[in-house]
Amino acid sequence: MNEMMNDDYINIREMLSDCLSDVRVRAAKKGAMGIPTGFQPLDDLIGGFEKGKVYVIGGRPCMGKEEFMLSMMINIILESKLPVLAFSTNHMKSDYVQRLLAMYCDIPVMHLFQGNMEIQEWKRLDKRLGDLLDAPLFMHDSLDLPLNELTETARNCIREKDIHIIFIDCLQMIDFTNEGDNPSDRVAKVMLSLKQFAHLNKVPIIVGSMLSRGIEYRDGFEGKRPQLMDLMNSSFIEGLADVIMMVHRPEYYHFYQDEIGRDLCGRIEIIVKKNALKPLDSIFLNYNDKTGVVCVRKKRKSTNDENFDIIKPDVVCVRKNSKSTLKPISLKDLNSDNEAVKKLIKAFDLEEEIPF
């Protein structure tokens, strides 16, 4: 009996030993303990995604929340090469894969959707597609996803695929399957279950959250910036989440400069509103609303803007008002002697589907 009881507590000596071990690891990694997000300024702020913690990312429609989450998935599976499990409650798997492909290959989503791409876009598709073929990304789609289905799928994937991190696109679409509960109670129970699952299975969970329409009725630059109170069923999310980030695009609300005159066109702001034992701040990333590319731009020596990095040197982040002079063309209209096209046809057995 005493031996069983000993498993339920730990003395201060052991706790201090564990704490100092963590400090040594952080020192060796220069501060980051968790899985890198792929955005260094954000890693400097939150320390990456740490095991056992729940991260909530809130955003209104058209703010780039899903693109931001997809960008982090791409960074993790390709840079860190760690297995990722993603749950889609709003879209089919095919829609997510198409958007992911458009982002990684830097191709406008509509060009990819219509199959009409410029020659350089076909070449980029051929060049980068191979990186994704064996990437450790696993996806599950289900509208009104039952919580027990989510946890069972996640547990199986952790055991069979060695999943290191879990993404869920929408907290409010997870169904607790208890018809007697009101929305607030359901969100509270789902958040508590996610928190327990993350802790027991030692994986970070990143979950997107809807925001209320209140933002749309507020005026001014600061009025449009999301606050914790804008989270739907905010009190339960605030209390149980370890880190809360908000995704905001001032340009969407026709704010093209901030209060100190920095250009906000094509920029997305990640606002850290809760950050357990760490500072609160915000960072700006570059956002292309045609391709969905989210990246950190390289610093320019001639400007005071400090957030100018780019993930891939050959990815061009195009401004919203920029226009291409090249004409998109479909696969069937391309010359079959084109090397990129021949490789795509061979890799995906397209001869019978696309006759030349």
pLDDT, tens only, 157-207: 999 999 999 999 999 888 876 666 777 788 888 999 999 999 999 999 999
**E strand or H helix that includes residue 165:** strand 165-168
What pLDDT is stored for residue 114 in this prediction?
A: 85
What pLDDT is stored for residue 3 in this prediction?
A: 40
Q: Are 327 and 333 in contact (CB under 8 A)?
A: no
Longest dimension (CA), the chain: 77
What pLDDT is stored for residue 80 in this prediction?
A: 92
First to last CA, the chain: 77
pLDDT: which is higher, 20 or 314: 20
Q: Are 55 and 140 in contact (CB under 8 A)?
A: no
Closest CA relative to residue 225, chosen from 171, 276, 282, 169: 282
pLDDT of residue 154 exceeding 90: yes
Percent of the residues in the chain that have a pLDDT greater than 90, as a whole number: 49
pLDDT of residue 76 exceeding 90: yes
Provide the 8-state DSSP code for 145: E
- Distances in Å between the alpha carbon of 43 and those of 50, 198, 282, 342? 11, 20, 12, 41
What pLDDT is stored for residue 347 in this prediction?
A: 61
pLDDT, tens only, 326-335: 566 665 666 5
Which residues partner with 284 through β-bridges?
Answer: 269
pLDDT: which is higher, 183 or 323: 183
* pTM for the whole structure: 0.80
d(CA 345, CA 352): 9
Q: Are 36 and 42 in contact (CB under 8 A)?
A: no
pLDDT, tens only, 219-232: 999 999 999 999 98
pLDDT: which is higher, 139 or 115: 139
Please state, rounded to an integer, the average pLDDT across all residues of the chain: 81
pLDDT of residue 68 exceeding 60: yes
pLDDT, tens only, 260-314: 888 999 999 999 999 987 899 999 999 999 999 999 865 444 444 444 333 333 3
What pLDDT is stored for residue 251 in this prediction?
A: 93
pLDDT: which is higher, 122 or 56: 56
pLDDT of residue 63 exceeding 90: yes
What pLDDT is stored for residue 286 in this prediction?
A: 94
